[in-house]
């Protein structure tokens, strides 16, 4: 929105608007859990697990403490363990790789397709060896990775596929939703995600009853019937307060994703002549625009100009995993991921962003992005 100085005031994300939109529903749901007095797992978690599995079109959902844990537990539940290698995309956030290591495995990074930012199926051959056990495609920014060739390759080699769907709630590939495209999937309910809790939370989704049962054990010390630990697990349970908030918000997820897509359309139309590379929805995929990421070689200058004018932007992510000091040992030839991290810029996009704010962002971007 235009402020009197001629600048704008558009924050990257304002989650208080989501709470306001829900008009007391969240408070009432929390009060019910407080009155009930049972706080970890229990009926609210079971209810949310049923609802979320149904939303994905999957058979089972297992609520856990975070998206990172969901990925680690999903990997373990499909059989990944110490000594195994797990292939994933280099341009993801650190949690993807931390989860692979938390499952006891060694991450192997591969490059991505420039246009979609997602794992390049053609890069798999060179990354896979005798110890490879699984592939983790990341549905980055809200668009599914190119799953058909990835799953086809995995089936040929006897590898498991675990989706990192932390940014993909409701996204689709060939008419099927994220969460049902591999052997198991990991979702995050970190507050900023398309479906976010009031704190940390996550879920493993799978169509495989054995994988679901194992994920249930792994989230609670490996304990099965009679609280007998049949394998070593961890403490990673979803709590009832988060589950009840998530049930309230899940009922809005489709409307919110539709709104995200409408805002993306608005951006795509208004910025088509701006000289920026705009995000593309690949054929057969339904992008849910967790993030709206543009590209330009003059990214830093554009970001600075927008910042001066009161438009907040972010970078997801400032560097690929192998360029973090903690992960230099994972370095390989990853030129696309390295170039992208210098050019990407995330513009504000969330369901409660107004059309006026989106137009202000476009106006400022067009003014700032005068071609060099
Ligand atoms: C958010 C995120 C995670 C981690 O989820 P947490 O709930 O924060 O642990 C993992 N992978 C991707 C791609 C994410 O965006």
DSSP secondary structure string, 165-205?
Answer: -TT-TT-EETTEETTSSSSEEEEE--TTSSS--SS--EEEE
Instruction: Say whether pLDDT at 282 is over 90.
Output: yes
Query: Which atom of ligand 1 is closest in space to residue 138's alpha carbon?
Result: 13
**Closest ligand 1 atom, CA of 99?**
10
Q: Is the pTM of this model over 0.95?
A: yes
Q: Which of 13, 120, 59, 26 is nearest to 349 (CA)?
A: 13
pLDDT at 5 over 80: no
3-class SS of residue 347: strand
pLDDT for 88-117, tens place per residue? 999 999 999 999 999 999 999 999 999 999
* pLDDT of res. 372: 47
Rounded-to-integer distance, Cα 263 and Cα 256, Å: 11
| DSSP type of residue 93 | -
For 193-226, the pLDDT digits (tens) are: 999 999 999 999 999 999 999 999 999 999 999 9
Distance 273 CA to ligand 1 centre (A): 33
CA 359–ligand 1 middle distance (angstroms): 30
Is residue 96 in contact with ligand 1, taking CB distance under 6 Å? yes
Q: At what angle do helices 240-270 and 43-56 cross, to 10 degrees?
A: 30
> What is the distance between the alpha carbons of residues 340 and 303, in angstroms, rounded to a whole number?
15
Q: Quick one: average pLDDT of 144-154?
A: 98
């Amino acid at each position: 929105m235009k402020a009197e100085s001629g600048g704008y005031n558009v924050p990257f994300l304002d989650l208080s608007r989501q709470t306001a939109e829900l008009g007391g529903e969240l408070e009432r749901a929390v009060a019910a859990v407080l009155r009930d007095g049972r706080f970890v797992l229990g009926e609210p978690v079971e209810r949310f697990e049923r609802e979320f599995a149904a939303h994905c079109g999957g058979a089972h959902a297992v609520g856990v403490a975070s998206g990172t844990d969901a990925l680690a537990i999903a990997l373990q539940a499909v059989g990944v363990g110490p000594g195994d290698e797990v292939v994933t995309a280099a341009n993801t956030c650190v949690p993807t790789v931390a989860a692979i290591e938390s499952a006891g495995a060694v991450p192997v990074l591969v490059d991505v397709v420039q246009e979609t930012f997602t794992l390049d199926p053609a890069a798999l051959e060179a990354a896979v060896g005798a110890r490879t056990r699984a592939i983790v495609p990341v549905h980055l920014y809200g668009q599914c990775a190119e799953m058909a060739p990835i799953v086809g390759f995995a089936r040929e080699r006897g590898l498991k596929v675990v989706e990192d769907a932390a940014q993909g709630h409701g996204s689709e590939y060939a008419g099927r939703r994220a969460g049902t495209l591999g052997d198991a999937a990991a979702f995050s309910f970190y507050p900023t995600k398309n479906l976010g809790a009031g704190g940390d939370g996550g879920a493993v989704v799978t169509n495989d009853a054995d994988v679901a049962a194992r994920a249930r054990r792994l989230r609670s010390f490996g304990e099965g019937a009679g609280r007998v630990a049949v394998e070593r697990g961890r403490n990673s349970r979803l709590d009832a307060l988060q589950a009840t908030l998530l049930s309230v918000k899940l009922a809005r997820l489709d409307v919110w994703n539709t709104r995200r897509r409408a805002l993306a359309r608005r951006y795509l139309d208004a910025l088509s002549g701006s000289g920026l590379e705009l995000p593309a929805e690949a054929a057969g995929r339904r992008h849910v625009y967790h993030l709206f990421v543009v590209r330009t070689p003059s990214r830093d200058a554009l970001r600075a100009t927008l910042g001066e004018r009161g438009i907040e932007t972010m970078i997801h992510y400032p560097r690929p995993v192998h360029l973090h000091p903690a992960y230099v040992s994972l370095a390989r030839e990853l030129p696309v991921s390295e170039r992208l991290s210098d050019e990407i810029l995330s513009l504000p996009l969330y369901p409660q962003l107004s059309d006026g704010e989106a137009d202000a962002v476009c106006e400022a971007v067009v003014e700032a992005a005068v071609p060099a």
